[in-house]
């Protein structure tokens, strides 16, 4: 394997909407460079990038796959990512380690919602970014429309470096940096360079001038040169574009037909000559606290961006050398656990192909096997030289499922495997919910769930099923009620006796203290599940001894933990205990727990009890023309529409929707909008459920008990 120094390594991330052609472009880049002699296709299940069985089955990328190509004297590490936001974790980690983001846009559709979501990460990491308008061969491709959709979504810093043209029936690209026309043979590959035809001169000149101006804009020296000469030469333009890209002032737009091997070579040439290396990029931006200067002579630091279980290899850890260099056999320290890890073997991975190497230098991407205890998103550093790359913040789960092992005896293994998966994939979260009495898996969407299910079944041999998770309801009351309860037991030996009189009321923040009672004491209990229990001691004349008050509270709390309606937690009640009785011999702690609990339960049932359900704040981003369909669907889900804001050709619909109505929402939104919309959902508040829903829930809770 050829060795490249840090100045000749470029890392690019291929990102963009599902089916834009990222995997095909990666394949074409590897083929163009002569590293493979056949060009695979996604449908042929033989691309370098989509090599997992599940990717073949679904004919789409599910994992971020590193591979490499070589162009001229440079090594280009390519990480091909999945397009669906189900796999946003894979996309975010890739953007973090890339030096340039290559956003692939389908020239037929223009900017799709997938591209929009990625932009948040482009913005966050400030990575230089270029666009590739792919599928220019497609009969419905429309460069002007797609180009203007890029400008509409990402602003005028997006600027064409090329546009497509048909020259004597052949696909051609007019290059505005080189002011040359490339005419491609029918099977693609190396183009003929030709002069720009007269008929295109005016358009090409105009776009060229826009590009020159843009290139000059970000550097004073270039600006002066441009004013003096009225022009910049190719080198000066490259320099200007590079500076612009580093500051997010320029997003160059290229054209390609990945399928027909058109345009990939020119893009790779641009990556070589213009896009920054890790070294240049970090020097430029080292003021932010996650930057470790990519100094090849500095202390070694590796950022493990993903770990993955591969059936014949075990755990594979992919990393980027952020600084220094790493040699096979190095001992490094995990900056989170402070455990030592041995990197016995180092590899460059091209999909499933491994090439063993002796060392990797700063800026390069590689892999190692069998790390003891290092997860995705962690840093390994040289002993005694602690360095830590700021970890990626992953989005919270958007979908939840209860997981069950079909075989009881697999329960323990299931728990262990889920822990392992969570370490590999930080966008999957597992939790044993004592409230719901279920093992809950949080993930990003239906396809993410399918990928996890696949791993559980095929990689770990577990027979499992998913079920709808229970909903965490709350119970509360709507009006005051009073009761008394006497607990009395006399069966031989010592008996039990306790009598409690209480009034309960709905509690809300800022309400007046209770009137009509003599208030002797007040205890405010912040409930672990939200809301409060406020307890007032209003006992007059010592009819109940002080020491029994904690017993009464304990009895009330037991009921609060398993409400009488559906067994859900109770919240927001205040209790005034104002009378009762003791027995000199038989009264004790347990008697008052029982009396307090019973009295509370009885009062609760008389106080117009109400079930509360979790309500989510929902933001759905949809193309304007689909807004009506999405709204109709939201209304059928008991939603309250709070408002709409337009953003380019998108609408953001804000709504409040009960969690119970959002089960499988990502799937149905996808089918209503053919994948063109996205949504975010966060817990907002608990709110009363409608009466008919409450009746059904109480009934089914009763059925479950019997």
Ligand X SMILES: Nc1nc2c(ncn2[C@@H]2O[C@H](COP(=O)(O)OP(=O)(O)O)[C@@H](O)[C@H]2O)c(=O)[nH]1
* Smaller CB separation from ligand X, 27 or 236: 27
In degrees to the nearest 10, what's the CA dihedral of 348, 349, 354, 359? Answer: 10
Q: Does 134 bind ligand X (CB under 6 A)?
A: yes
Which of ligand X, Mg ion, none has residue 102 at its interface (CB below 5 to 8 Å by kind)? Answer: none
Q: Does 403 bind ligand X (CB under 6 A)?
A: no
CA-nearest of 149, 145, 143 to 161 is: 143
Q: What are phi and psi of 400, to 5 degrees?
A: -130, 145
Identify the DSSP state of 632: H
Q: Does 361 bind ligand X (CB under 6 A)?
A: no
Q: To which H or E segment does residue 600 belong?
A: helix 589-606
CA distances from 511 to 141, 219, 572 (A): 64, 63, 12
Which of Mg ion, ligand X, none has residue 611 at its interface (CB below 5 to 8 Å by kind)? Answer: none
- Give the sheet arrangement for strand 74-80, strand by strand: 65-71, 74-80, 9-16, 100-106, 129-134, 251-255, 158-160
Which of ligand X, Mg ion, none has residue 21 at its interface (CB below 5 to 8 Å by kind)? Answer: ligand X
Q: Does 7 bind ligand X (CB under 6 A)?
A: no
* Contacting residue, 9, 12, 13, 20, with ligand X by CB under 6 A: 20
Which of ligand X, Mg ion, none has residue 10 at its interface (CB below 5 to 8 Å by kind)? Answer: none
Identify the DSSP state of 456: I
CA-nearest of 292, 306, 307 to 362 is: 292
Instruction: Count the Cβ atoms, other than its own, within 10 Å of residue 416.
Output: 10
As beta bridge partners, residue 346 has 357
* Smaller CB separation from ligand X, 260 or 694: 260
* Contacting residue, 17, 21, 23, 397, with Mg ion by CB under 5 A: 23
Bridge pairing between strands 399-405 and 438-443: antiparallel
Placement of tokens 């919602």 in the chain = 113
* Contacting residue, 6, 10, 12, 22, with ligand X by CB under 6 A: 22
CB of 16 to Mg ion, least distance (A): 9
Q: Does 237 bind ligand X (CB under 6 A)?
A: no
Which range touches ligand X (CB under 6 A), out of 21-29, 197-205, 424-432, 680-688? 21-29
CB of 354 to ligand X, least distance (A): 23
* Smaller CB separation from Mg ion, 86 or 499: 86
In the shown chain, the binding pattern of residues 91 to 110 toward ligand X, with x for contact by CB under 6 A and - for none, equals -------------x------
Which residues, numbered 248-307, are part of the site for ligand X (CB under 6 A)? Answer: 257-259
* Contacting residue, 4, 9, 12, 21, with ligand X by CB under 6 A: 21
CB of 80 to Mg ion, least distance (A): 6
CA distances from 201 to 313, 532, 541, 622, 646 (A): 56, 75, 102, 39, 38
* Smaller CB separation from ligand X, 42 or 267: 42
CB of 22 to Mg ion, least distance (A): 5
CB of 140 to ligand X, least distance (A): 10
**Maximum distance among all alpha carbons in the chain?**
113
Placement of tokens 């304007």 in the chain = 624
* Smaller CB separation from ligand X, 140 or 642: 140
- Residue 296 to residue 204: CA distance in whole angstroms: 42
CB of 13 to ligand X, least distance (A): 12
CB of 133 to ligand X, least distance (A): 10
Q: Does 8 bind ligand X (CB under 6 A)?
A: no
- Residue 679 to residue 654: CA distance in whole angstroms: 10
Bridge pairing between strands 573-581 and 496-506: antiparallel
Alpha helices in 98-229 (DSSP H): 113-125, 143-154, 198-217, 220-229
Size of the site for ligand X (CB under 6 A): 21
* Smaller CB separation from ligand X, 29 or 389: 29
Instruction: Count the Cβ atoms, other than its own, within 10 Å of residue 251.
Output: 23
Which of ligand X, Mg ion, none has residue 137 at its interface (CB below 5 to 8 Å by kind)? Answer: ligand X
In the shown chain, the binding pattern of residues 26 to 65 toward ligand X, with x for contact by CB under 6 A and - for none, equals ---------------xxx----------------xx----
Q: Strand, helix or coil at 309? A: strand
Q: Does 138 bind ligand X (CB under 6 A)?
A: yes
Q: Does 137 bind ligand X (CB under 6 A)?
A: yes
Which range touches ligand X (CB under 6 A), out of 122-130, 135-143, 311-319, 437-445? 135-143
Q: Does 456 bind ligand X (CB under 6 A)?
A: no
Placement of tokens 């709808």 in the chain = 468
Which residues, numbered 39-78, are part of the site for Mg ion (CB under 5 A)? Answer: 61
CB of 40 to ligand X, least distance (A): 10
* Contacting residue, 6, 10, 12, 19, with ligand X by CB under 6 A: 19
Q: To which H or E segment does residue 591 belong?
A: helix 589-606
Which of Mg ion, ligand X, none has residue 181 at its interface (CB below 5 to 8 Å by kind)? Answer: none
* Smaller CB separation from ligand X, 136 or 292: 136
Q: Strand, helix or coil at 335? A: coil
As beta bridge partners, residue 400 has 442
DSSP string, 243-278: HHHHTTS-EEEEE-BGGGTBSHHHHHHHHHHTSPPH
Which range touches Mg ion (CB under 5 A), out of 18-26, 133-141, 614-622, 630-638? 18-26
Chain residues binding Mg ion by CB under 5 A are 22-23, 61
Chain residues binding ligand X by CB under 6 A are 18-24, 41-43, 60-61, 83, 104, 134-135, 137-138, 257-259
């Amino acid at each position: 394997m050829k060795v490249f120094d840090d100045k000749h390594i470029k890392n690019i991330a291929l990102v963009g909407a599902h089916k834009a052609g990222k995997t095909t472009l990666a394949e074409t880049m590897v083929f163009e460079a002569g590293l493979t002699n056949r060009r695979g296709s996604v449908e042929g299940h033989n691309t370098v990038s989509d090599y997992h069985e599940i990717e073949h089955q679904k004919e789409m990328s599910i994992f971020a796959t590193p591979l490499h190509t070589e162009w001229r004297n440079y090594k280009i590490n390519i990480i091909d990512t999945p397009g669906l936001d189900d796999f946003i974790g894979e996309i975010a980690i890739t953007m973090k380690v890339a030096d340039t983001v290559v956003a692939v846009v389908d020239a037929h559709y223009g900017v799709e919602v997938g591209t929009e979501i990625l932009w948040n990460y482009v913005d966050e990491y400030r990575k230089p970014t270029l666009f590739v308008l792919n599928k220019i061969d497609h009969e419905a491709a429309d460069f002007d429309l797609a180009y203007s959709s890029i400008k509409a979504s990402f602003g005028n810093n997006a600027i064409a470096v090329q546009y497509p043209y048909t020259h004597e029936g052949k696909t051609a690209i007019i290059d505005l940096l080189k002011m040359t026309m490339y005419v491609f043979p029918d099977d693609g590959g190396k183009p003929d360079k030709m002069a720009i035809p007269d008929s295109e001169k005016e358009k090409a000149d105009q776009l060229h001038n826009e590009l020159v101006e843009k290139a000059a804009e970000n550097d004073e020296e270039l600006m002066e040169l441009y004013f003096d000469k009225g022009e910049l030469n190719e080198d000066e333009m490259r320099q200007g574009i590079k500076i612009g890209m580093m500051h997010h002032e320029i997003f160059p737009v290229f054209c390609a037909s990945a399928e027909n091997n058109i345009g990939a070579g020119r893009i790779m040439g641009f990556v070589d000559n213009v896009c920054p290396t890790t070294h240049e990029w970090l020097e430029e931006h080292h003021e932010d606290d996650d930057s470790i200067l990519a100094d090849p002579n500095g202390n070694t630091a590796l950022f493990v961006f993903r770990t993955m279980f591969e059936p014949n290899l075990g755990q594979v850890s992919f990393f980027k050398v952020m600084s220094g260099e790493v040699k096979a056999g190095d001992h490094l320290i995990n900056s989170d656990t402070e455990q030592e890890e041995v990197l016995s073997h180092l590899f460059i991975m091209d999909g499933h192909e491994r090439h063993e190497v002796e060392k990797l230098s700063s800026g390069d991407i590689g892999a190692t096997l069998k790390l003891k205890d290092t997860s995705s998103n962690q840093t390994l550093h040289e002993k005694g030289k602690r360095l830590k790359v700021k970890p990626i913040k992953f989005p919270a789960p958007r979908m939840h499922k209860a997981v069950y092992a079909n075989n009881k005896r697999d329960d323990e293994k299931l728990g262990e495997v889920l822990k392992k998966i969570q370490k590999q994939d930080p966008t999957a979260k597992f939790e044993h919910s004592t409230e719901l009495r279920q093992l809950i898996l949080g993930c990003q969407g239906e396809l993410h769930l399918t990928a996890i299910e696949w791993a559980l079944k095929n990689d770990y041999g577990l027979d499992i099923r998913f079920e709808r998770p229970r909903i965490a309801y709350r119970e509360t009351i709507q009006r005051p009620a009073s009761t008394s309860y006497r607990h009395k037991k006399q069966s031989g030996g010592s008996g039990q006796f306790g009598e409690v009189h209480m009034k309960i009321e709905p509690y809300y923040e800022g309400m007046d203290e209770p009137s009509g009672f003599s208030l002797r004491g007040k205890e405010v209990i912040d409930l672990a599940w939200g809301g409060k229990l406020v307890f007032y001691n209003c006992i007059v004349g010592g009819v109940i001894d002080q020491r029994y008050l904690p017993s009464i509270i304990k009895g009330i709390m037991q009921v609060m933990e398993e409400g009488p309606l559906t067994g859900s937690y109770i919240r927001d009640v205040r209790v005034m205990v104002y009378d009762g009785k003791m027995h000199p011999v038989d009264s004790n702690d347990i008697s008052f727990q029982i009396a307090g609990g019973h009295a509370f339960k009885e009062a609760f049932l008389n106080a117009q009890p109400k079930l509360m359900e979790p309500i989510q704040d929902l933001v759905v981003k949809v193309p304007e023309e689909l807004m009506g369909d999405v709204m109709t669907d939201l209304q059928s889900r008991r939603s309250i529409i709070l408002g709409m804001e337009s953003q380019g050709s998108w609408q953001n619909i804000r709504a409040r929707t009960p969690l119970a109505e959002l089960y499988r929402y990502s799937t149905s939104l996808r089918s209503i909008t053919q994948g063109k919309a996205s949504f975010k959902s966060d817990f907002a508040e608990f709110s009363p459920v409608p009466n008919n829903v409450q009746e059904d829930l109480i009934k089914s809770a009763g059925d479950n008990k019997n």
